[in-house]
Structure 1
């Protein structure tokens, strides 16, 4: 029940501190990431928190990190995500097709494997560390060193300074 202990009276109704904090955070994300689909922000935050809580409770990991990475790309860069299981890329940013790859908190090494068969012009690599902090780096496909291979590893450190 909302009241003076957990909310404030505003414009004829009680507003919880949680709602106020969520609205402030929502505005901060909007200012920081103006291209974001702001409706995705609470979903992203809840999914990341759920993955962390599950890990802390069980020591196991949910299989949601790819989705978290894609939501992060949508929020931070305005990537318009394709439908699930679309072939070739995960989304679109203007005229560019974007491939999103996520380095999970339980991965021993900081790299992703990329296939040359994908139809993408930019790669967005998302890293979720052991503390469930998240960062992303984008790179043009043309700057990747394929060397005639059909699959390559892209290391997080290779992307340093690239955004």
Structure 2
């Protein structure tokens, strides 16, 4: 047996457990406490994609076309949004009886705003923001609270969205 094994794992309840397993479980408990509606099995995909986007950018100074997917996964994890199939018309997912449109503000965007099709079939809008340090936050608003417009696209600034309660 490797002499360094005590630094990498320990024996608990009849099996070897690594410190990374313990850290993963602690992280799951942290997500559960912070986001009780989380769809937890999506957490590793979200974390891996966010880490990939960040490391790729740091290495190449370019961005991968992943931010929309990262935003949708964040919505599923944090709010419990059931995502629709890819390319489904109308909205990105459902939260109970509400159709949810998810828009993502990317780290390279020069302004903190999104454009939403007024003709879309959604009752809630979730805006996910990934900042230059690859920190993720979000704000959700009912469609009825959005400004009215006759234009086909509604531009919404992050600063105009209500902060989470």
Tell me the TM-score range normalised by the shorter chain. over 0.9
- Given that residues 107 and 132 in structure 2 are in contact (C-alpha distance below 8 angstroms), is that contact kept between their aligned partners in structure 1? yes
CA displacement at 1:12 relative to structure 2: 2.3
1:12-44 superposed Cα distances (whole Å, 9 cap, x missing partner): 222111111011001110121111111011111
Once residues 160 and 117 of structure 1 are traced to their aligned partners in structure 2, the CA distance between those partners, rounded to angstroms, is 22
**What CA RMSD, in Å, does the superposition of the two structures yield over aligned residues?**
1.4
Aligned to 2:156: 154
> Among residues 91, 101, 110, which one is paired with 1:108 in the alignment?
110
Aligned to 2:129: 127
TM-score normalized with structure 1 length: 0.95
CA displacement at 1:74 relative to structure 2: 0.5
Aligned to 2:142: 140
Q: How many residues align?
A: 163
Please state whether the residue corresponding to 1:97 is helix, strand or coil.
strand
CA displacement at 1:162 relative to structure 2: 4.9
Unaligned runs of 5+ in 2: none
Unaligned runs of 5+ in 1: none
Aligned to 1:3: 5
TM-score normalized with structure 2 length: 0.94
Residue 21 (structure 1) aligned with residue 19 (structure 2):
no
Greater shift, 131-140 or 144-153, is seen at 144-153
